[in-house]
Chains A and B, each alone.
Chain A
Amino acid sequence: MSPAPFFYNEMKVNDMREASVLEMRGIYKSFPGVKALQNVDFTLRAGEIHALMGENGAGKSTLIKVLTGVYPMDAGEIQIKDKGPVQIHSPQQAQQAGISTVYQEISLCPNLSVAENIFLGRGEGRLVSWREMNRKAGTLLDSLGIRVKPTQQLASCSIAVQQMVAIARAVDMDCRVLILDEPTSSLDESEVEKLFHLMRDLRERGVGIIFVTHFLDQVYEVCDRITVLRDGKLVGEYEIENLPRVQLVSKMLGKELDDMADIKNNIPVYSEESFTPVYEAKGLCSTEGIQPFDFYIRCGEVNGFTGLLGSGRSESVRAIFGADKVTGGEVRVDGKPVKITKPIEAMRCGLGYLAEDRKRDGIIGDLSVRDNIILALQVKTGFFKPFSKAQATKFADEYIKLLDIKTASVNTPIKSLSGGNQQKVILGRWLLTHPKYLILDEPTRGIDVGTKIEIQKLVLKLASEGMSVTFISSETDEMLRTCSRLIVMRDRRVVGELTGDQLTQNTIMNTIAGGEKE
């Protein structure tokens, strides 16, 4: 291990633990109609992993953006070790001050190659040799255990790989503070492990790491200290040993968390008439290279696709919804043969689909929360039947209330909502269409613990009222709580189906890995 490029390498590890690299004092930040941060203090020590926790819209991302100069703060002071009080007005200045960031919404250039993305804008003031750049990128990616060709176009990589590339980019800039805003929300377990390995490695070298996540397990696995925010205010700063999980949650939510134990899918009993599947496909395949597969879902059933990232679970549901070009297969809805090759046809058949990649496939960034909520229903209703403003506002308010969306008003552009609240808006959009079959691909990504449970409950409630739901999640326990049947995928083909007693963490893992024959 060569620690050469990092700061503090001459110091003893113990000294570094005590020294704070970063102090933020009395930070205030408001947006029109929202007080996002009020008198927040934050201290980061060298060589620690510090979790920044809070509900959706608590102000975590805003604190980070203030720190990195994306937003100017209204009041407050930032001090950096060895530099004293600093004024950070732009991300470049933050970088010069030794602060590297991976933002919640990945902000790389999809049209450039992986290597270009890593080295873009480093401004070393000399001509780039492509071969040199690719070689360097290759070494870096190897050392981080990321398997991707440096010359590959970024857009063609999975989100997980894109996320890792963003981290590689941040890590490579000699940094003393590394900020990771929900980096793990689109990674699977093995990738999370790799990331943690990397984080621990950096901690040993004295880097202070700010880690934002909604996964409590991960917090307790890697973090040393926790700062909790609620509604833009500081709740407190805690050593991890002194804050058990239950307390952390109640500090975040400001109330006790409902018991999770009562969430369990009671497998519906199918009578003869409900036996016809709501949706049924035979030999379905699309241009995205999934093997033809058969699939059905019954009225009021919740099932799920599981598998590693890239196993084809998202591609399967995209084929069901007609989001990718469908190349073959027979589809029946309510027993009647139909043709679904475009999303609009699926919507007319009563399907809804919440896509995995919120930024690319979910939000219409500049449009208001109201327009984003009514969009799908409006398109379904037709070109010549626009809702009146009052009607649209009524719809929007209904789902803002139901899903507890934090927004200044219905007119706020959706892009200025916090990540988790954006996700809720998109969920509301599809619920508003009252689909009889709803496909949810990672619906709880970026959503806080409290709301996650609310959403799982909501899904089960809707199912008990007769809606069919297909659920995809990287979190197996979430799938286990909601689904009564799991379709397992590996290498872009369906390799098994699990029901009843087979629905345990172990069997799922084994089937995914292919260790067990069905």
Chain B
Amino acid sequence: MTAKTTVKSGSFLSGLLRHQIVIPLAAILLLTLFNLIADPSFFRIKLGMTNAGNPVLTGNLITILDSGSELAILAIGMTLVTAASGGQDISVGAAIAISGSVILRILCGPPGAYSGELQAPIFVAFLAACAVSMIFGAFNGSLVAFFRIQPMVATLILFTAGRSIAAWINNNKLPIISDDRFSYYGGYLPGVPIPTPFFIAVICFVITWAILKFTNLGLYVQSVGINEKTSRLNGLNPELIKFATYVLLGLCVAVSGFIKVSRVSTLNYSVIAKDIEMDAILAVALGGNALSGGKFSMSASVLGAYVLQYLTTTLYKFHVKPESLSAYKAVVVILLVILSAPAVREKLSSLVKKLHSPASSAGQSA
């Protein structure tokens, strides 16, 4: 009887180790352990006040949930793009600048004309940003899908040109929106103590979950990413599917851009969402997804995004200077990525099996 349970738990553990979600989960565990030992006050949550006099929750955990949102949303789109096309879109940072700029342009009217009054409803600006971002996504997508250009190379074009386009949309002006209602989306809704971006991220995740559940998007994307020729022979249109993932990523970019602009009510074309493309790709990798495409786990990617934010917040907390931040991050990321390599995980899980098997065989013979 006991032997049986050992075998069960052994195979459960080694099975879990083989599942990719174990990587971000383990990372969260490690970071939590580290913080608990180093300074448990890291986890304290306090009640604070906004400038407007709203009671809100503050603390490191809230910061993580808040500032990880844009990354988590991007990770959703990046996962799909990676899975279908076996490559990554490196233009998302630049595309966020564009979508932010579109929002400003719609809300403030022609450059120089802004008088403090919104020129259009906020949701119109948001929809416009979605449309524009999806058009740029479609541009990337057609280069990749129809012209068969390497994704990194294809998106390099927008990566290079994007921020200039963003500046051009507002004639290089930086209007600042003074309407409070606009800042709700990157801050707090009146009377709600939890930051809005977190809610937006949750909504995005739930919608994605529903799409994956109630359509065949997951099956199609994975099939195409694993074997394009076979997918074609089974009636799929691989080009269209790859194209669609880039358009969907465009949508994610628009939502992230909207949050980003709302946070500060304006934007700086050259620094907004800088290097976020690398973090988004990392989030996908940390989720244990192969960057060469194929099978994916959406929840693992999203968790990966929050792991990155957790790491950043932890490092800030220990007063790592912003300029050396990336070096620290790099070290941790290297560790995590090595641990998550399939070969290493295979070794680990067979190790677990070995540790359990002597016990079980002894139990059986007795």
Contact = CB atoms under 8 A, between A and B. Distances in A.
B268 to A, nearest CB: 41
A273 to B, nearest CB: 30
Contacts of A365: 226-227
Most chain A Cβ neighbours within 10 Å, of B15, B232, B233: B233
A385 B229 CA distance: 23
B231 A364 contact: yes
B235 A380 contact: yes
Interface in A355-377: 355, 360-367, 371, 375-376
A367 B215 contact: no
B190 to A, nearest CB: 39
Contact of B232 (A32, A343, A371, A383): A343
Contacts of B231: 364
Contacts of B213: 386
B220 interface: yes
Given A366-B295, A367-B295, A361 B219 contact: no
Interface in A283-333: 321, 323
A344 B215 CA distance: 18
Size class of the B contact interface (CB-based, 8 Å): 20 to 34
A170 B15 CA distance: 37
Nearest to A385: B216
B252 to A, nearest CB: 20
A260 B34 CA distance: 70
A375 B223 contact: yes
A508 interface: no
Given A360-B230, A361-B229, A366-B222, A379 B235 contact: yes
B234 interface: yes
Contacts of B223: 364, 367, 371, 375
A347 interface: yes
Contacts of B294: 366
B236 interface: yes
Classify chain A's interface size: 20 to 34
- Count chain B CB atoms within 10 A of each CB in A323, A364, A380, A386 and give the residue with the most: A364
Contacts of B229: 360-361
Given A344-B237, A366-B222, A376-B235, A383 B216 contact: yes
B230 A386 contact: no
Interface string B1-35: 00000000001000100000000000000000000
A367 B233 contact: no
B297 to A, nearest CB: 12
Contacts of A279: none
A318 B236 CA distance: 16
Contacts of A353: 233
A367 B222 contact: yes
B216 A386 contact: yes
Nearest to B222: A367
Nearest to B11: A32
Nearest to A387: B216
A342 B236 CA distance: 9
Given A383-B216, A386-B216, A364 B233 contact: no
Interface string B237-271: 10000000000000000000000000000000000
Interface string A9-22: 00000000000000
Interface in A396-443: 429
B214 interface: yes
B122 to A, nearest CB: 31
A343 B230 contact: no
Interface of A: 32, 321, 323, 342-344, 347, 353, 355, 360-367, 371, 375-376, 378-380, 382-386, 429
Given A365-B227, A371-B219, A375-B234, 13 more contacts: A32-B11, A342-B235, A343-B232, A343-B235, A363-B227, A367-B226, A371-B222, A375-B223, A379-B220, A382-B216, A383-B216, A383-B220, A385-B216
